[in-house]
Structure 1
Amino acid sequence: MKDLQRGYLLTEQANPNSHNLDLRSPLELVDLFVQEDAKTIAAITQAREELAETISQTAAALRKGGRLFYIGAGTSGRLGVLDAAECPPTFCTPPEQVQGIIAGGAGALVRSSEDLEDRPDDGASAIAHHQITSQDVVIGITAGGTTPYVHGALQAARQRGATTVFIACVPKDQVTAEVDIDIRLLVGAEILAGSTRLKAGTVTKLALNIISTGTMVQLGKVYGNRMVDVAVTNTKLHDRALRILCDLTDLTREDAGYLLERSDRNVKLALLMHWTGLGKDAGDRLLSKHQGNLRIAMQEISK
């Protein structure tokens, strides 16, 4: 990395399209945001192969009992924590399977602690604290690419044999990283110079959505386009579970509710029981045999 003068970074440069930002009307501001945010899709498209490889590597690691860690500071760290926190309710994953690590810990989620990003040893310590091994995947997130906390964490993770992924919004010739997969999301300079919670944050959220959802699809936590591993923990999710059952079967809502309770509120198991006539215990065993993949379990029954 270069020295602490970081004006050369793409994420720190002034955007010529917004040079008169303070003179624009509210409608002009919205139009400018729309124009600039459209660049996030192009950036994702350019990184499609690296994102696909990340999905493949992560799914393979999780199948073998490994874990996925996001690590970052500031906005980047918060985005990682957010994506990790959404996995248990969406895909019924155990909380330890996908984790977010942010410099400064939980307190940094609600108040600024950007000074902590300058400590590479803290990043390395976080890797040691979580006992990361060669079975795990560690994704370091840093919009500007230079965050010492993230680089320290990735270096420590590599030393432990973990699969490492780097996500940044600057080109490789500005910041290098020794990792297994190097993802660059090049959205250009921000409307508000240096405010990477804007386009850089948006494109990073898109990338994390793709990685986590794609991984869970590969793990069989989705049937068709339905979240059949949804955790039925509140009224909204109970309603969603019933709608999934009704949409994928010929059951009435009342019968779907009865089936859901018989399966201990496990939508995937409920579907398997309905389609095959298996009891709960037999269905559980069949799903376990195929690592929870409903489609493969159904293929075995149909042979």
Structure 2
Amino acid sequence: MIHALFLLAALVLPGVATAQTWTPTRPIEVIVPFTAGSLADRNIRTAAPLLTRELGVPVVVQNLPGATGYNRIYRAAPDGATLGVGDPVAQMGLALVQPQPFDILRLTWLGHWSAGTQTMVLSARSRFQSLDQMRGAAQPVRCGTFGGVSTGAMQCALLGRALGFQVAFVTLAGPPELVLANVRGDVDVASLGPSLWTDHIAQNSVRPILSWDATRDDRLPDVPALGDLGLQRFAPVTVLRSVAAPPNLPAAIRDRLIAALNKVVASPEWDAFVTQSRLERNWVFAADYPASLEAAKVLLEENAAALRAAF
């Protein structure tokens, strides 16, 4: 029996070792379903040369905004040659409003660069100057969005339901265009990462009114958070700057990619990028990461009727 066990180990263990040492043999393409210049785009373009160093093959970034990009990731072969970045929360919300040709939760989500604390701002040119003025407003609040149903747009819809105002959505091409529209007064309110608003807050062209998190953002300590309004239950509906692979990615490839991504966020180059950009340091890349998406999924499904009505 002992002899048989040794023979079995000799047959099995080499295969295990091979699986654990998966190495890419051709360039890796990373699909960005957002426009160039967005934070998701900046994240992966900063990480690409660091991933190239860790994986030993070129990592090439391609922008394919919208459903086209997500569908490209979804339909790709699960061989490690195609990755993507995206916001699973936004896509879960979009699927509630408009059927999609893919199931976003079937993607192999590897983790995120950051779970962004969004800053909701009012344009200095808006007819509303505070959250209190928005409560029960007779006129719709113009909320900027991009790509159809963005996470910021869902936040507007949820806040409108809680505070009793209607929302009229204005669709822009991407985050840079949304910032410009808010500064010009083409929209009343918009929600994006605080780093995109820093200069405009300093110039008083926008007014921060809410940090979309249960507690206040250390970068904007005077701005109220959801917890201050008793709305902390909405906190999971936030931007996740996540990394995904196609469905059914083998565990060996998944684990090798996760290891490389963890090396990237531990590098001095990534630290310098995060420090300069004043980004969150709450990255996580792990095999059990998909389980963390369940809270947002449940919350969105509970508010599905309100979201459909708003959009």
Normalised by the size of structure 1, how large is the TM-score?
0.28
Select the structure that is richer in strand: 2
Normalised by the size of structure 2, how large is the TM-score?
0.28
Which structure has more relative contact order (CA 8 Å, sep 6+)? It is 2
Select the structure that is richer in helix: 1
